[in-house]
Amino acid sequence: MLNRWVPVVLVVLLAGALLTPAGFAQAPVKIGVIQPLSGPVAASGNYVRMGAEIARDWINARGGIGGRKVELVIEDNKSDPKEAASAAEKLIVRDRVPAIMGAWGSSMTLAAMPKLEEYGVPMVVETSSAASITKRGNPWIFRISPPSEMEALGLERYVAKLGVKRADFLAVNTDWGRGAVGAFGDMLKKKGAAVGAAEFMDQAATDMNAQITKIKATGGDTLFLTTAVEQITLVMKQAQEQRLGRKIITTGGSSSPTQLIKQAGAAAEGSYHILFFMPWFPEAMPDGKLAKAFVDEWNKRGHPFEGLTEGFRGHDGIATIAEAIKAARKDEPKAIRDALWKVSLMGVNGPIRFEKDGPAGKESGQSKPSIFVVQIKDGKVALPDFLAQK
């Protein structure tokens, strides 16, 4: 009796398989994303999200990962470290993502890191630059953005050409800002420049006149400024009103010079900016063809051009995770973590591959990103004279 039903069952199962839409049986590969989509630095976080979506769409257009589509599961950390930790736990426990990209600010990333270690899930850090992120000893962290020390070393060769003799600092009062002041201060002292005042501002502050007044009294020639583009705009305007008369150099790659030209106007004239992507000169990037394709796709989607200096981070972060999942041949956290050590790909910023950083046995991964300097001249973004002449 049982044997009589076997052919019928097989026919039913076969029919069901034929009626199943293509790809339906293949669950998507989930990748978690934690960014500040609201709060004081929301513009930057949303630009990173836009870049991540481009990477997702490009990967899926090429057939996904092993025939499976990539799905981004995005959480808003609201520019708040506590929210970042909560977002990480939600993505891991509720959504069961096997890997995460995040979390823009260093304080937010540091807050999320214990959750990664607790649950054993890797995170690619696309923006944060505090040294402690890789020095603390978390083997689930892989950073593609430069720590402040690496960024400072990138600028070291230009200190004399920039004419920096006495520098002051104004930075956001977060792990990122404090780390930048320490790293650039140490580099400048090494180069023989004097280091003056170091002033800090809350992330949501809008009036920095008191800090600028103190800096003005030091008699320095250069102001190093570390914060997000929204606050940079306010500082530049207020510095102009006070006739600060200093050379301004922004650090961290989050200045968005095009946005500064629009919003700060003449107050941004002459300022220098350390960046990790030059969308105005894509041909000058390590892979000019990829950089140009990314700029073209960004513009095609109608995204603000000024967001490109942040958006590329999202692309490179997701591309890095996808490459690791492809190499691991499964979307399992430990397998992805192990595969990240073997990743070698070309991102919009440049080559991405990880070296060990941190205490023995608990090393984090740190890539060595490309670092660039641009200047705002005559209301446009340009290469500084000492670079343009080459």
Contact 175, 107 (CB under 8 A): yes
Helical segments of 329-371, H only: 333-340
In this predicted model, what pLDDT tens digit does every residue of 359-375 receive, in sequence order? 999 999 999 999 999 99
Residues 252 and 340 in one domain: no
pLDDT computed for residue 389 by the predictor: 56
Interatomic CA distance for residues 35 and 127, integer angstroms: 10
Residues 156 and 271 in one domain: yes
Which residues are registered as beta bridge partners of 224?
169, 249
Calculate mean pLDDT across residues 152-170. 96
Calculate mean pLDDT across residues 3-10. 42
Interatomic CA distance for residues 277 and 372, integer angstroms: 7
Residues 175 and 160 in one domain: yes
Q: Is residue 126 part of a domain?
A: yes
* Domain C-terminal end among 218, 249, 275: 275
Query: Concatenated DSSP letters for 236-260?
Result: HHHHHHTT---EEEE-TT---HHHH
Interatomic CA distance for residues 123 and 290, integer angstroms: 24
Residues 131 and 203 in one domain: no
Calculate mean pLDDT across residues 228-241. 97
User: Does the structure show a pLDDT above 60 at 13?
Assistant: no
Calculate mean pLDDT across residues 233-257. 97
Calculate mean pLDDT across residues 175-193. 97
Phi/psi region, residue 350 (left: phi>0; alpha: psi -120 to 50; beta: rest), is left
Calculate mean pLDDT across residues 300-306. 97
Domain that holds residue 271: 150-275
Q: Is residue 310 part of a domain?
A: yes
Mention every residue, 6+ apart, whose C-beta is less than 8 A from residue 388: 382
DSSP tally for the chain: helices H, then strands E: 15, 16
pLDDT computed for residue 386 by the predictor: 86
* Domain C-terminal end among 232, 254, 275: 275
* Domain C-terminal end among 221, 240, 275: 275
Largest CA distance in the chain: 98
- Reference 155, options 272, 72, 266, 58; nearest CA is 272
Residues 188 and 259 in one domain: yes
User: Does the structure show a pLDDT above 50 at 49?
Assistant: yes
Q: Is residue 175 part of a domain?
A: yes
Contact 256, 381 (CB under 8 A): no
- Reference 152, options 188, 115, 110; nearest CA is 188
Residues 305 and 342 in one domain: yes
Q: Is residue 294 part of a domain?
A: yes
Share above pLDDT 90 across residues of the chain, in percent, rounded to a whole number = 92
pTM: 0.91
pLDDT computed for residue 388 by the predictor: 75
Q: Is residue 118 part of a domain?
A: yes
Q: Is residue 23 part of a domain?
A: no
Q: Predicted confidence band at 387 (pLDDT cuts at 50, 70, 90)? A: confident
Residues 104 and 200 in one domain: no
Contacts 24+ apart (CB under 8 A), 334-338: 334/120, 336/98, 336/99, 336/122, 337/120, 337/122, 337/139, 337/140
User: Does the structure show a pLDDT above 60 at 30?
Assistant: yes
Stated as kind and residue range, the H or E segment containing 264 is helix 257-264
pLDDT computed for residue 1 by the predictor: 43
- DSSP-derived letter for residue 146 is P
Interatomic CA distance for residues 93 and 105, integer angstroms: 23
Mention every residue, 6+ apart, whose C-beta is less than 8 A from residue 154: 146, 274, 371
Residues 172 and 208 in one domain: yes
pLDDT averaged over the chain?
Answer: 93
Calculate mean pLDDT across residues 104-126. 98
Residues 271 and 291 in one domain: no
Residues 358 and 302 in one domain: yes
Q: Is residue 14 part of a domain?
A: no
pLDDT computed for residue 46 by the predictor: 98
Q: Is residue 383 part of a domain?
A: no
Q: How many domains, the chain?
A: 2
pLDDT computed for residue 26 by the predictor: 87
Phi/psi region, residue 127 (left: phi>0; alpha: psi -120 to 50; beta: rest), is alpha
Q: Predicted confidence band at 275 (pLDDT cuts at 50, 70, 90)? A: very high
pLDDT computed for residue 171 by the predictor: 98
Pairing of strands 100-101, 29-35: parallel
Calculate mean pLDDT across residues 242-271. 96
Read off the amino acid at residue 335. Answer: A
**Cis geometry, peptide bond prior to residue 103 (ω within 30 degrees of 0):** yes
Domain CATH for 217: 3.40.50.2300
pLDDT computed for residue 8 by the predictor: 40
For the chain, the C-alpha Rg in angstroms (whole number) is 23
Residues 82 and 192 in one domain: no
Residues 171 and 112 in one domain: no
pLDDT computed for residue 273 by the predictor: 98
